[in-house]
Amino acid sequence: MRQYSLHPIHRYTLQLAAALALTAASAVTAGAYPPAPPLHSYLRAIEQPTLAAAMKTMPDKAGGDTVTVGEIEIGSIWTRAMLPGQPVGGGYFSITNNGKSADRLLSISSPDAGHAEIHSMVMKDNVMVMRPVEGGLEIPAGETVELTPGHFHLMFMDVKKPFRKGDTVPVTLEFEKAGKVEINMPVGAANAKGAPESMDHSTDHMKMD
């Protein structure tokens, strides 16, 4: 069998490559390349007030989705599916004012409705009367105002497409002090009586202006 010998230059090149490969392997094994910093070191670089403000807007899954804007918290958000031929839809949620002064829900709007208003239902001469809330709905300091069927509620008129169970209705609320906030109202059954946690439906991500 014929034997071949390597030229000295070729032999040196192969030896050098082998030495570099062994050096790299040894460096990795010995931990010459330090591991990436732990996650908490990155979190410490974030300003605490900024992190706290971001977490404040996250939904609270334990008690139904909650949106916070300023000192105002909005929770128990829901609406009902509309029956065939039903001309209007309703919207419900709770508003908690954690501030030291009253705020006011001035207006509402939705791309799914041509017009939307805040309504109240009151008894007058033994008749239940529904009417718009003039000047907005006051949210006293340190109190919670509930928008529920048969009481304060949202009224969606000129609805472009009837609300269907399982859908969500985007709504923009505007407060006098807290400003604007966008929410998604999950649509429950036409006979639903409660908020998302009792309708087995979860909401989408909410966001603030």
Tens digits of per-residue pLDDT, 99-151? 999 999 999 999 999 999 999 988 788 888 889 999 999 999 999 999 999 99
pLDDT band per the 50, 70, 90 thresholds, residue 41: very low
Is 0.75 topped by the overall pTM? no
Contacts 24+ apart (CB under 8 A), 143-151: 143/96, 143/97, 144/94, 144/95, 144/96, 144/97, 145/94, 145/95, 145/97, 146/76, 146/94, 147/91, 147/92, 147/93, 147/94, 147/95, 148/92, 149/90, 149/92, 149/193, 150/121, 151/120, 151/121
* 207 phi and psi angles, rounded to 5 deg: -140, 160
pLDDT band per the 50, 70, 90 thresholds, residue 39: very low
Q: What one-character DSSP code corresponds to residue 192?
A: -
Question: What is the domain class of 60-208 according to CATH?
Answer: mainly beta
